[in-house]
């Protein structure tokens, strides 16, 4: 009986190692294999007489099913972006369509605009200081602008 008890504990230890590995190297893959290992520990607790080949086959089936459940059911819910939050955490893209004033002229396609209490690099046609510009796009940390016709 002692060896059988140790065997289901071994599956739980494997599960903890895999889930711990997920914490260190996130990617959702080891988490689901770890869940399959934990489920295998529960199966061995209920049926301690399973041989090693049966355990391997059941574990492989659990791992496949758990990864499939993640891929088809969990992942789409995680990756769904609520309407209106498409540009969340992409500050530059949130500025598209906004209008700002140039605090440095655009010369040779480069200048600066006041955005809130700071300034951003802008690119666009040559324009003098004080011109109102509208953001049409973002290239890294540079706002692409055009003159705003009021």
Taking 50 as the threshold, does the pLDDT of residue 1 lie above it? no
Taking 90 as the threshold, does the pLDDT of residue 97 lie above it? no
- Note the pLDDT of residue 55: 94
Taking 90 as the threshold, does the pLDDT of residue 132 lie above it? yes
Taking 60 as the threshold, does the pLDDT of residue 88 lie above it? no
CB within 8 A of 130, min separation 6: which ones?
A: 101, 102
For 85-89, 109-113, 124-128, which range has the lowest pLDDT when averaged over its residues? 85-89
- Note the pLDDT of residue 116: 84
Q: Which one has a higher pLDDT value, 3 or 58?
A: 58
β-pair partners for 150? none
Q: Which one has a higher pLDDT value, 138 or 133?
A: 133
């Amino acid at each position: 009986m002692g060896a059988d008890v140790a065997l289901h504990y071994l599956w739980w230890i494997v599960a903890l190692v895999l889930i711990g590995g997920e914490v260190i190297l996130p990617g959702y893959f080891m988490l689901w294999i770890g869940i399959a290992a934990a489920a295998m520990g529960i199966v061995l607790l209920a049926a301690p007489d399973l041989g090693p080949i049966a355990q391997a086959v059941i574990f492989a089936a659990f791992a496949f099913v758990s990864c499939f459940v993640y891929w088809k059911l969990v992942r789409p819910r995680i990756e769904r972006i609520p309407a209106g939050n498409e540009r969340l955490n992409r500050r530059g893209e949130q500025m598209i369509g906004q209008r700002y004033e140039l605090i440095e002229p655009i010369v040779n396609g480069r200048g600066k605009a006041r955005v809130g209490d700071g300034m951003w690099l802008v690119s666009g046609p040559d324009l003098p200081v004080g011109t109102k510009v509208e953001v049409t796009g973002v290239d890294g940390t540079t706002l692409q602008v055009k003159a705003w016709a009021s």
